[in-house]
Structure 1
Amino acid sequence: MKNLKTTFAIILFTFFASFCNAQQLPDKDTTKYGHNPAVGKYADIRGFKMYYEVYGKGQPLLIIHGNGGSINNFRYQIPYFAKNYQVILADSRAQGKSADDKDSLSYEMMTDDLNALLDNLKLKDVNVIGWSDGGIEGLLLAINHPDKVKKLAVTGANLWPDTSAVDEFVYNYAFKMNQVAADTMKKIKNPTAEMKNQVKLLHLLTYEPHIKLEALKKITCPTLVIGGDHDVLRTKHTMLIADNIANAYLWILPNSGHSTPIFYRDIFNQVVGDFLSKPYRKIEKFGRFE
């Protein structure tokens, strides 16, 4: 049994070390973001305690992390946006400091968690930045709770989990690792809570989301859809998302993978910051010549 648990741990470590490499920051972390006792709080919502931190003052800005990530993934964005915004970040359910021992996990569930957090903070509407899974949740927040989202910027988001949306190598690798992890779990008599938790996250990004194109028509807020030209999500899929949102800009970064908020942090912050601060411009007719 011990050998099985060791094997399982190696499987998960290998997967998240490679697949979630976008969340591995390129330099040593000297910040307290994500573990700051001066500002860190827990909100008792929807059956679990959600950990969150708030920085800065101004219009509220919700920033949402990706699969297996945490508040700390945005250490390059927090100081930049906190100069002009009240920046709200939370560890999503079953991730970071937001422990959750339930068996199920879905993007809709985590989106409703964020909506409940905003209610808990008495915030009627916010600007939103979402990366990867956080981008999916940003889209769902604008679809299911449109009154909550003033402007939305998403990077590396997808609508469904197949090779029309996800790079074929990445999709097949994730699917294989999910199968191996699930099979190994069946052989372990008493899996730990951490094992169960990691399987939930792996299953989530392998089999979800399932957002229909028609649902994007419900998004009326100005939206900036972002992707790397060599993202784990196909460029044509990112373009498809932008094309089906009424008031959307599209930004594809050249020579970039999935890690746009990290490896392109300076230009990412500037462009997203300009998008949030400037009025949305409808470009049509002769405006297309500008």
Structure 2
Amino acid sequence: MRFYYILFLLICGSAFLVSAQNFGNNPTAGKYARIRGFKMYYETYGTGKPLLLVHGNGGSISNFENQIPYFARNYKVIAVDSRAQGKSTDLSDSLSYEMMADDLNALLDTLKISDCYVIGWSDGGINGLLLAMRHPDKVSKLAITGANLKPDTTTLDPFVYNEIAKTDKKYSDSLKHSSSTPLTKNAWKVNHMMLIEPKNVLADLHHVKCPVLVIGGDHDAIPTRHTIEIAASIPNSYLWILPNSGHSTLVNYKDQFNTTVNNFFKQPYRDISGNDRFN
């Protein structure tokens, strides 16, 4: 989510800077696909089973600089800039998680990809869940970290929610001035979405058919109880809570994150019930 990335940039310094390989700004790997009324920017790396990477609110492909090199060894990595973010410019008035999930589906259709693995961070996790719900054939397995499924202080730490609200007011006030630009309106649109969405996703998680690895930090911007609630609502899910971590699990624990998610993709999902609960 937009505030999260700003906050973690301040805390972590260069954690989100684009690497020497220019992830998110690589003319060799990058292309545009004209879909659903805008041009979606994406980059591809490696070969193998397709793996879709979906960033959080206000982020971009570059946020996966710690994942792309690792997963490109064994997968065809497709990293995207979501609608109205990164290089996927869309200055229209509308934006929703459902729109972005349908964008991902349209991109996969354009690339003639029938199904893929998905990693979603923050808002990207919401988009991944909606993709799995709205287009179930497209998602083989899904790993999400730091997703929230209601726009309130039960699913966002109160400090984080209040900072998002402050940012919303700042943008709203800016839009009242004649000097306001389309980029300011776009920034407001992207941030404001977090105050009003998602809606009704939690109640529908039982429709998610693919295996899902639900991840969170024990001091995440998303309260641990909500991450547990998400995992408990998905029929075929694993839960992984990382200690001593906030929202940036795939930065703070990049090596452990990559190997654990890779193992989740490679190994069959195991139904742990009955006597298996003792193992």
Scaled to the shorter chain, the TM-score interval is: over 0.9
The one of 75, 90, 95 aligned to 1:85:
75
For the residues of structure 1 that align with 2:158 and 2:43, how far apart are their CA atoms? 36
Give secondary structure in 2 for the equivalent of 1:242.
helix
For the residues of structure 2 that align with 1:20 and 1:142, how far apart are their CA atoms? 30
- Give 1:1-290 correspondences, 5 Å limit: 17-18=6-7, 25-26=14-15, 29-186=19-176, 188-290=177-279
Please, which moves more after superposition, 57-66 or 198-207? 198-207
For the residues of structure 2 that align with 1:18 and 1:111, how far apart are their CA atoms? 26
Q: Give percent identity, aligned residues only.
A: 57
For the residues of structure 1 that align with 2:90 and 2:16, how far apart are their CA atoms? 30
Shift of the 158–20 alpha-carbon distance from structure 1 to 2, 3 Å rule, reads farther
Shift of the 67–27 alpha-carbon distance from structure 1 to 2, 3 Å rule, reads closer
**Does structure 2 retain, via aligned residues, the 8 Å contact 1:50–1:98?**
yes
Residue type at the aligned position of 1:87: V
Please, which moves more after superposition, 50-59 or 13-22? 13-22
Shift of the 25–67 alpha-carbon distance from structure 1 to 2, 3 Å rule, reads farther
Larger Rg: 1
Normalised by the length of structure 2, the TM-score is 0.94
Please, which moves more after superposition, 33-42 or 15-24? 15-24
Deviations 1:208-255 (A, max 9, x none): 111333310110101000000000001000000000000000000000
Residue type at the aligned position of 2:212: T
**Does structure 2 retain, via aligned residues, the 8 Å contact 1:20–1:68?**
no
**Does structure 1 retain, via aligned residues, the 8 Å contact 2:4–2:247?**
no
Please, which moves more after superposition, 96-105 or 18-27? 18-27
Normalised by the length of structure 1, the TM-score is 0.91
For the residues of structure 2 that align with 1:136 and 1:14, how far apart are their CA atoms? 16
**Does structure 2 retain, via aligned residues, the 8 Å contact 1:25–1:73?**
no
Structure 2 residues without counterparts, runs of 5 or longer: none
**Does structure 1 retain, via aligned residues, the 8 Å contact 2:117–2:140?**
yes
Please, which moves more after superposition, 236-245 or 175-184? 175-184
Alignment RMSD, CA only?
A: 1.9
**Does structure 2 retain, via aligned residues, the 8 Å contact 1:60–1:126?**
yes
Structure 1 residues without counterparts, runs of 5 or longer: 1-12
